Amino acid sequence: MANIGFIGLGNMGGPMAANLLKAGHRVTGYDPVPAAVERFTAAGGVAAAKAADVAAGAEVIITMLPAGRHVREVYLGPGGVIAAAAPGALLIDSSTIDVETARAVAASAEAAGLAVLDAPVSGGVGGATAGTLTFMVGGPDAAFARAEPILQAMGKTIVHAGGPGTGQAAKICNNMILGISMVAVSEAFVLAERLGLDAQKLFDISSKSSGQCWSLTSYCPVPGPVPTSPANRDYAAGFTAAMMLKDLKLAQDAAAGAGVSTPLGAAVAQLYGLYCGSGEGGRDFSGIIRLLRGT
């Protein structure tokens, strides 16, 4: 069992740290929000007063932070993780952030002789709680081999995507597919409604035809066909539209940086911008159908 430091004990990090504790690891954690720390100590974790205290003495340090600027601050800032980590420590960032920041952190950590991985996740709070997350991991083979047994306490599928930054690349590419497919499915249901085609009938036909996709069959944006989808509970999130917008913007920034044209990704990012701008950013991302329907 390992001595693990965990920084960022929010909606995702809290249950992930709890699963590490359940697996028998010793976990020291830090979060500036007292309620997050209380939940963590109630699960058996040891609270630290600052990020640097978490890093000192940990064999493995995991971060689950909101965005790239938080990751830069926590790793690269004065008294940051890279400066405070013990020699030989393994650093794993599971936040969803820009590829550039992931690579900057990797370069600084490597220069300091520390192993580092970008390891964003898919599966949401439900997956974090159940320990069934998918990890997409970028970084050196040896670091991945060390991380795998630790990540298995929090996830079901652990994929080594390639070198530094490729975990983040996989995450934003996947979520660009998801955003585009959710808008595609939503547009089809709105058109079907106007053409007098029953939503359940469209579902029955398309789920067995070439329109079949996850946004339709697992996360249907209209109530009825998939009882577990957020559409059945007034689009209570799930995965918020604001988070989808964040990921779509990351994909657009990456595409611009790489000189790649992603016209559908750009259009969908704009639609989610409009939806969030209408005050619906806290709703599930499948609620985009309301913007398209105009109700």
182 sits near ligand NAD (criterion: CB under 6 A): no
As a whole number of angstroms, the distance between CA 122 and CA 167 comes to 11
Cβ 240 to ligand NAD, closest distance in Å?
7
Cα torsion 151, 152, 155, 161: sign: positive
Cβ 235 to ligand NAD, closest distance in Å?
15
Cβ 54 to ligand NAD, closest distance in Å?
9
As a whole number of angstroms, the distance between CA 99 and CA 77 comes to 18
The binding track of 120-139 with respect to ligand NAD, each residue x by CB under 6 A or -, is -x--xx--------------
Contact positions with ligand NAD (CB under 6 A) in 216-275: 239, 243
> Helix (H, G, I), strand (E, B), or coil: what is residue 259?
coil
Among 2, 3, 11, 53, contact with ligand NAD (rule: CB under 6 A): 11
Cβ 160 to ligand NAD, closest distance in Å?
19
Among 27, 51, 161, 180, contact with ligand NAD (rule: CB under 6 A): 51
Q: Which residues contact 20 (CB under 8 A, 6 or more apart)?
A: 4, 6, 27, 62, 150, 153, 154
Q: Quick one: 145 exposed, middle or buried, by C-beta within 10 A (0-12, 13-18, 19+)?
A: exposed
Catalytic residue, chosen from 50, 171, 246, 249, is 171
Contact positions with ligand NAD (CB under 6 A) in 188-217: none
The binding track of 69-108 with respect to ligand NAD, each residue x by CB under 6 A or -, is -x--xx--------------------xx------------
Question: H or E stretch including 106?
Answer: helix 99-111
Q: Segment near ligand NAD (CB under 6 A), from 31-39, 109-117, 145-153, 268-276?
A: 31-39
As a whole number of angstroms, the distance between CA 40 and CA 81 comes to 20
Cα torsion 236, 237, 240, 244: sign: negative
Is residue 246 flagged as an active site residue? no
* Triad 202, 205, 211: Cα angle to 5°: 85
| Residues forming the active site | 171
Q: Using CB under 6 A as the criterion, which residues of the chain lie in contact with ligand NAD when the complex forms?
A: 7-13, 30-33, 36, 51, 64-66, 70, 73-74, 95-96, 121, 124-125, 239, 243
